[in-house]
């Protein structure tokens, strides 16, 4: 009763609802036995039939929009080619392995065919994963049918699962794995669903247990006392009241402007953020334009997409990050081969240097779309380390008729030497997620290393300070587009360090705006000095928390 599990809060707010466990992906055992063929064939047929029936059942309950999609998915589970394919594989493999192989065979073909087919590959994978679980007698993987408000508890959520969550039912998310900048964290914040990640042991929660998720502190209270629930609900009410008056451009109490911008990754994000109270886009990730295509998209294809992304912002700024691919996000048409350390390899601008044709067509398309929409488009390169790289990129951008060029500061070398690197460009933007990974030599994708990647690490704050000083020496603005820009406390520290724009998930903007409005620029500088004076990340946050305006502390 009343136990608390500590995780990492990644999406603010509180949620109180019963637990629904998201089943793990079930893998066929490595040593699975080959069965007598007729036995295997029966089991495989039964497994697929069970999956088809289950999906049909969901189709009956689903909305008019979702039902046809589910019915089509059930058809896949009844497909004779898939079932007979699996049965054929069962000659030499155990039934679960046979199902996986048959499914994978079709998935590979569909991805190869691209377009419409590639989109169906996800459904097919889902069918295969469910059939594997069914044949092994394990619970079905993925998000089950939800019949009311709930807190989803999962090992981690797949991108496709997070994207299709029913916001009206899922009021909170808790995961065993993941980290501050993992996919689940970013999407939960985008959808404004309170969430905690790295909550160890959460998969042991019994289905239906009432839990209270505090997405601010990362705490998950199991069967909490009524008093605690009331407390957090009051906090939520105070927050709503405080944020009501929080609109318009961001500024400190004494009027120093800090632009509040949105991070977006596609057309749908752009339409949502364009309608929100933000001053533009601080980070438009362009990878989606490239990742799913077999061939490099043409200039006209790209321009069409960019027009749709820019249009919702009118004359507001849109900061575009050029293609940031590499060995961990490989492109079908620009594969430079496997690398031992993709994060340290030929990614970002380094890939562009290898394939300048890709960069040039992207810049040309951006220039066309900027011209057609009249948007204030600014282009920046990822993974810049050297003055020469900044100069090379700036020349190419300007040659394409784009007026404002910048660089991401995410390599410690560039942060330390910002005084010179920034001479070459018009603005800088700190990618604090990658900067933390490279500063602390800790892989962003490793949940176990979350402490090293804490954005309050004083070493990271020192590098941010160095980057801001270098930019200031040149009279150039420096922004932040990592997750730390969306933290209402860190936002004050960053402002104090000299950052003049903060880009984040749009749902985080009101809280950051409120926090800034309650402090003068001198307050922010004082808070920054406190944070940098601390010995540990924890002490840095505590020191700042104890010194912020009471009006802000009350709603945290």
Partner 1 sequence: MTTRTVAIGSSVGLHARPAAIFVQAVNDAGVPVTISKPGGTPSPANSMLAIMSLGAKHGDMVELGCDAPNADAVLAGLVALLERDLDAE
Cβ distance to partner 1 smaller for residue 101 or 347: 101
Q: What is the largest CA-CA distance in the chain?
A: 79
Cβ distance to partner 1 smaller for residue 107 or 211: 107
CA distance 100 to 129: 7
Cβ distance to partner 1 smaller for residue 16 or 106: 106
* Structural tokens at position 173: 């998310």
SS3 406: strand
Residue 481 annotated in active site:
yes
Which residues bind to partner 1, rule: CB under 8 A?
A: 75-76, 79-82, 84, 106, 109-110, 113, 116-117, 124
Residue 100 C-beta-side C-alpha neighbours within 13 Å:
17
Tell me the angle at which helices 95-113 and 37-61 cross, rounded to the nearest 10 degrees.
60
* Structural tokens at position 397: 């951008």
Helix ranges (DSSP H) in 136-266: 159-163, 183-190, 226-244
CA distance 48 to 128: 9
Contact in structure between 476 and 422 (CB atoms under 8 Å): yes
The structure tokens 């994207």 sit at 163
> Phi and psi of 489, rounded to 5°?
-85, -50
Q: Which of 481, 519, 524, 538 is catalytic?
A: 481
Cβ distance to partner 1 smaller for residue 79 or 271: 79
User: Other C-beta atoms within 10 Å of 320: how many?
Assistant: 24
Minimum gap (Å) between residue 158 Cβ and partner 1: 22
Minimum gap (Å) between residue 472 Cβ and partner 1: 57
CA separation, residue 492 to residues 159, 351, 504, 508 (Å)? 31, 35, 14, 14
Cβ-proximal residues to 109 (8 Å cutoff; 6+ apart), any chain: 117
Cβ distance to partner 1 smaller for residue 1 or 116: 116
Radius of gyration in angstroms for the set of CA atoms belonging to the chain, rounded to a whole number: 25
Minimum gap (Å) between residue 75 Cβ and partner 1: 7
Strand 427-430 with 8-11, pairing: unpaired
User: Other C-beta atoms within 10 Å of 39: how many?
Assistant: 11
Minimum gap (Å) between residue 225 Cβ and partner 1: 54
Cβ distance to partner 1 smaller for residue 24 or 79: 79
Q: Which of 183, 221, 420, 468 is catalytic?
A: 183
Minimum gap (Å) between residue 291 Cβ and partner 1: 21
Cβ distance to partner 1 smaller for residue 115 or 139: 115
Residue 309 C-beta-side C-alpha neighbours within 13 Å:
31
Cβ distance to partner 1 smaller for residue 81 or 139: 81
Minimum gap (Å) between residue 299 Cβ and partner 1: 26
Bridge partners (DSSP) of residue 174 are 153, 196
CA distance 426 to 420: 12
The structure tokens 């999406």 sit at 11
Cβ distance to partner 1 smaller for residue 120 or 239: 120
Minimum gap (Å) between residue 331 Cβ and partner 1: 22
Minimum gap (Å) between residue 431 Cβ and partner 1: 40
Minimum gap (Å) between residue 118 Cβ and partner 1: 12
Q: Which stretches does DSSP call E strand in 322-475?
A: 376-381, 404-409, 427-430
CA separation, residue 342 to residues 386, 434, 444, 453, 481 (Å)? 19, 13, 12, 18, 22
Cβ distance to partner 1 smaller for residue 113 or 276: 113
Minimum gap (Å) between residue 110 Cβ and partner 1: 7
Burial class (CB in 10 A: 0-12, 13-18, 19+), 30: exposed
CA distance 64 to 487: 39
- Which amino acids are annotated catalytic? 183, 481
């Amino acid at each position: 009763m009343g136990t608390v599990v500590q995780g990492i809060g990644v999406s603010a707010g509180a949620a109180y609802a019963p637990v629904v466990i998201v089943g793990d992906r079930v893998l066929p055992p490595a040593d699975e036995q080959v069965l007598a063929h007729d036995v295997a064939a029966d089991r495989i047929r039964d497994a697929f039939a069970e999956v088809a029936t289950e999906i049909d059942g969901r189709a009956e309950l689903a909305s008019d929009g979702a039902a046809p999609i589910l019915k089509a998915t059930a058809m896949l589970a009844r497909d004779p080619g898939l079932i007979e394919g699996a049965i054929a594989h069962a000659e030499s493999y155990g039934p679960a392995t046979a199902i996986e192989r048959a499914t994978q065979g079709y998935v590979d073909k569909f991805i190869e065919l691209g377009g419409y087919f590639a989109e169906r590959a996800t459904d097919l994978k889902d069918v295969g994963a469910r059939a594997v679980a069914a044949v092994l007698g394990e619970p079905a993987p993925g998000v089950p049918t939800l019949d009311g408000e709930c807190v989803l508890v999962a090992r981690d959520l797949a991108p496709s699962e997070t994207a299709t969550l029913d916001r009206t039912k899922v009021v909170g998310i808790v995961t065993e794995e993941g980290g501050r900048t993992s996919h689940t964290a970013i999407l939960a914040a985008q959808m404004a669903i309170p969430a905690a990640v790295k909550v160890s042991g959460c998969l042991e929660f019994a289905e239906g247990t009432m839990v209270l998720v505090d997405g601010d502190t990362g705490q998950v209270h199991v069967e909490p006392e009524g008093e605690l629930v009331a407390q957090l609900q009051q906090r939520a009410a105070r927050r709503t009241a405080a944020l009501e008056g929080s609109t318009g451009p961001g500024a400190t109490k004494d009027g120093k402007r800090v632009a509040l911008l949105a991070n977006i990754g596609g057309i749908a994000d752009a339409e949502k953020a364009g309608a929100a109270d933000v001053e533009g886009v601080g980070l438009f990730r362009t990878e989606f334009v490239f990742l799913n295509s077999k061939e490099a998209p043409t200039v006209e294809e790209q321009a069409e997409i960019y027009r749709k992304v820019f249009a919702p912002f009118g004359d507001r700024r849109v900061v575009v990050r050029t293609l940031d691919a590499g060995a961990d996000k490989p492109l079908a048409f620009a594969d430079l081969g496997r690398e031992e350390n993709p994060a340290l390899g030929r990614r970002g601008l380094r890939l562009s240097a290898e394939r300048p044709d890709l960069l040039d067509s992207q810049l040309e398309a951006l220039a066309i779309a900027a011209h057609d929409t009249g948007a204030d488009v600014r282009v920046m390169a990822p993974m810049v380390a050297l003055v020469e790289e900044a100069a090379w990129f700036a020349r190419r951008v300007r040659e394409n008729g784009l007026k404002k060029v910048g660089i991401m500061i995410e390599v410690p070398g560039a942060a330390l030497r910002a005084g010179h690197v920034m001479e070459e460009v018009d603005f800088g933007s700190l990618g604090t997620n990658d900067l933390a990974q490279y500063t602390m030599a800790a892989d962003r994708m490793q949940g176990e290393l979350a402490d090293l990647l804490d954005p309050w690490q004083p070493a990271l704050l020192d590098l941010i300070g160095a980057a801001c000083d270098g930019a200031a020496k040149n009279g150039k603005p420096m922004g932040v587009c990592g997750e730390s820009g969306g933290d209402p406390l860190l936002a004050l520290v960053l402002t104090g360090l000299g950052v003049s724009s903060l880009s984040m998930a749009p749902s985080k903007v009101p809280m950051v705006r409120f926090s800034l409005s309650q402090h003068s620029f001198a307050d922010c500088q004082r808070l920054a000095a406190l944070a940098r004076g601390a010995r540990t990340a924890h002490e840095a946050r505590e020191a700042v928390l104890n010194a912020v305006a009471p009006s802000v502390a009350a709603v945290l």
